[in-house]
Amino acid sequence: MAKGDQCEVFQYDSEKVDRLTTLMKEEPFDVTAKIFKALADETRLKIAFLLASEEELCVCDIATIIGSSTATASHHLRLLKNIGLAKFRKEGKLVFYSLDDNHVKQLILNGMEHGKEGKGHE
């Protein structure tokens, strides 16, 4: 690391350091990291985007839209369900999924909007 890239003091603003250190202990980083990890997979992100765009979708429709098998779509949907991002209901032989968290819906839609602006291509 170049010498100009490092601070030459241990702490600059101890008040901020104390406040943010306390804040870091209060935040659920493990839970939030699981959400981002799940959405880091492009197929799951596509599925989550579809669910953010509609109230609910059948597994077979999701598979058709993303160009995958029903088994592949089901696998990804099950993961989203297991971490609490999606929920499902059965109607006869059909299974319908929807997002289970409005915060995640907003996160996905905001992320996609950010992507349209060309951010993150560097």
Domain membership flag for residue 8: no
Quick one: pLDDT at residue 2? Answer: 57
Quick one: pLDDT at residue 13? Answer: 85
Rounded Cα distance, 113 and 53, in Å: 13
> Can you give the pTM of this predicted structure?
0.82
Rounded Cα distance, 112 and 45, in Å: 10
What is the number of structural domains in the chain?
1
pLDDT digits (tens, 9 = 90+) for 85-121: 999 999 999 999 999 989 999 999 999 999 888 866 6
Rounded Cα distance, 102 and 90, in Å: 21
Domain membership flag for residue 10: no
Domain membership flag for residue 28: no
50: domain CATH number is: 1.10.10.10
Please compute the mean of the pLDDT values over residues 35-64 and round it to a whole number. Answer: 96
Residue 57's domain comprises 42-116
What average pLDDT is seen over the chain? 91
Quick one: pLDDT at residue 101? Answer: 86
- pLDDT at 34 > cutoff 70: yes
Quick one: pLDDT at residue 120? Answer: 60
Helical ranges in the chain per DSSP H: 14-26, 29-40, 42-53, 59-66, 70-82, 102-116
Higher per-residue confidence, 4 vs 90? 90
Please compute the mean of the pLDDT values over residues 39-59 and round it to a whole number. Answer: 97
